[in-house]
Amino acid sequence: MSKNNNYPTISVGDILRPTIVEVNISRLRENFEAIKAKVGASKIMPILKANAYGHGLVQTARLMEEFGADYLGVAVLEEGVLLRELGIRLPILVLGGIIGNQIPLFIENDLTITASSPDKIKQINETAEQLNKKAKVHLKIDTGLERIGVHYYSSEKFIEEALKCKWLEVEGIYSHFASSYSSDKSYTNLQLERFNDVLEYFEKNSLKPPIRHIANSGAILQHKDSYFDLVRPGIMCYGVYPSEDVERSVRVLPTLSWKSRVVYFKVIKPNHPVGYDSTWQSDHNVRAVTVPVGYGDGYFRSMHKSAQVIIRGKRYPIIGGIAMDQIIVNIENDSAFNNDEVCLIGNDGNERISVEELANWAGTIPYEILTNINTRVPRVYY
């Protein structure tokens, strides 16, 4: 373990497991700077939920703090508490819904609470009074996602009640888009119109509005009028676009590579089935290698009919099923040796396998690929 710019980095020599995730710090910084240039005066809240989209929660938080982020966003209380325990001092908003017995931990750890109903407002205020310490909250408005938050058409009374609470610091108000990454912008425009209508409460009552925010990655890319005071880039921080259809008005590059190594070489004879359930066999001799990665690491079992890896700059197919901890790769008549690098996501020579490609193989979305890379896979920062 070595120290660099106040955050630890792990070198390949520090770990024993051949399967690793590499995170490119320079690209992460470049993506942050590109987003910053796009949104101008708006503050930036990088979203770090689900282990920072597979990039490592704590290290990514430290990097974002170094890059100049204004706020951090996480999904659950435990993520926020961990960051506080490990020295992150930036404001942290927990985006998810809460239950009453969590409130003291929010207040004690100086975490910002998503206040999503009148009952929650009352609970937070009462707990803050008992602790003799104000609670910082962002009011959540539901403009059309129907997840958590007070409906836009019932928001006025909700805002009034929140502002009357003596033990609340109403620092922000926000909503979330349902389809800001879509080429059809009509529903996003409707949600934005509803949010603007809610915000008129402050002007009508001659009140300075709290921090206003609604723009996620898709909105940053194609809805400039949604930036308000703060934006919440998620997947685009990590160099992945939220959909194939979204406008790519900001150039971002992938920051994550997923690699393993060959641990076994064999020749498989004709008509000798490979893997669980004997789903694959050849009519001729094939050379094959075993690679220590599987669905226990987040390498989806559903990809087995399509998945490929790169070895020595060339693509090869996976054969048989994807097991919990291992895959088998058909290299036909080529050569590969123990300890040869195997690229699962990233570049090797002129070949590249993207997160989007894995998502297509698995029948899912890039978000799920990134967030399912298990924490037993070491993260290496370079």
Contacts of 242 (CB under 8 A, 6+ apart): 180, 181, 216, 217, 218, 221, 234, 235, 236, 367
Task: Specify whether 276 is catalytic.
Answer: yes
CA gap 212, 246 in Å, rounded: 24
CA gap 241, 102 in Å, rounded: 34
- Say which of 264, 276, 305, 382 is annotated catalytic: 276
- Say which of 49, 120, 140, 259 is annotated catalytic: 49
Closest to 237 (Cα-Cα) out of 16, 372, 22, 36: 36
Residue 355 has φ and ψ, to the nearest 5°, of -60, -40
Q: What is the number of other CB atoms lying within 10 angstroms of the CB of residue 39?
A: 18
CA gap 30, 33 in Å, rounded: 5
The structure tokens listed for 252 are 């971002």
Contacts of 17 (CB under 8 A, 6+ apart): 292, 376, 377, 378
Cα of first residue to Cα of last residue in the chain, in angstroms, is 12
CA gap 380, 242 in Å, rounded: 24
DSSP structural state of residue 205: T
Question: Would you call 83 exposed, middle or buried from its count of C-beta atoms within 10 A (0-12, 13-18, 19+)?
Answer: buried
Going from the C-alpha of 143 to that of each of 173, 175, 316, 336, 375, the distances in angstroms are: 12, 7, 47, 55, 35
Contacts of 136 (CB under 8 A, 6+ apart): 91, 110, 111, 112, 113, 169, 171
Q: Are 273 and 280 in contact (CB under 8 A)?
A: yes
Closest to 372 (Cα-Cα) out of 301, 320, 298: 298
The structure tokens listed for 71 are 């706020």
Residues designated as active site: 49, 276
